[in-house]
Structure 1
Amino acid sequence: MSNIKQEPVHAGEFLLSEGAGKISREAINVVAGPAVMAGQVLGMVAATGEFAPYNPAAEDGSENAACILFASLGESDVTRRGRAVVRLAEVSEVLLTGLDPDAEKALAANFIIVR
């Protein structure tokens, strides 16, 4: 039996490049719930303005990819404060969670280019 551990994506590890300074990032509110890892594609819940993991089957706004979580957040019963890449960046496809062709197209509209 082996004890192989898999290391999670580190904060910002998915970034290949971003705009000068911190222009690519914003502070965001993330819905309460299970832990969310860095590199998770997020959509905005229209009713609250909070971000949730992108879910193409949802009907609350989170079905529209809007940004990528910069650093992991632990499980919480309350809204969490986080950082997200929201514009002007190139990102590594293999380090993203929740990406599909529709999300890739939506992110590109915010100048977040998947490589």
Structure 2
Amino acid sequence: MIGSQYNGAPGPGQIHTQEFVEVLASTELQARIPGGVLLAKGNGVIKKGTVLGRVTATNKFVPYLSSASDGSQVAVCILDNDQDTTLTDMGASAWIAGIFTESKITGIDTAAKTALKLCYFV
């Protein structure tokens, strides 16, 4: 890089890219849980579009797992944005209704589709 390229000022710095993943197939019909959800720490980065279940003992949300027996085996909602839960519990926004692109949803199965009564998958 030539110093005069930016009139002696520092250049733009390191370039980072971020993938934007849209999981909604339509914005016509959608609803989020009022007040959001509390994601339990220790689950690493949970990606937008992940189906969430609620652990009964703590009322905290974790990625849905149909084989679990702690309450998280019941799908409750779909995460609205990536969240890093590695070190701490995180508040987050989550959909309870909407029209979603099924191939962009993580953890969706027949039982989750049945539990997410107000979510439609295309």
**TM-score when scaled to structure 1?**
0.80
Residue segments in structure 2 that go unaligned for 5+ positions in a row: 1-17
1:28 to 10, 23, 37: 37
**Deviation at residue 95 of structure 1 after TM alignment:** 0.3
1:112 to 97, 100, 119: 119
Say which one has the larger Rg. 2
* Greater share of strand: 2
| Residues 9 and 39, structure 1, Cα contact 8 Å, conserved in 2 | no
| Structure 1 residue runs of 4 or more that deviate by more than 2 Å after TM superposition | 7-10, 17-20
**Percent identity of equivalent pairs:** 30
Residue segments in structure 1 that go unaligned for 5+ positions in a row: 1-6
**Deviation at residue 36 of structure 1 after TM alignment:** 0.3
Q: Which residue in the other structure is 1:4 paired with?
A: none
Q: Helix, strand or coil: the match of 2:93?
A: strand
2:102 to 69, 93, 104: 93
**TM-score when scaled to structure 2?**
0.75
Q: Which residue in the other structure is 1:51 paired with?
A: 61
Tell me how large the CA RMSD over aligned residues is.
1.8
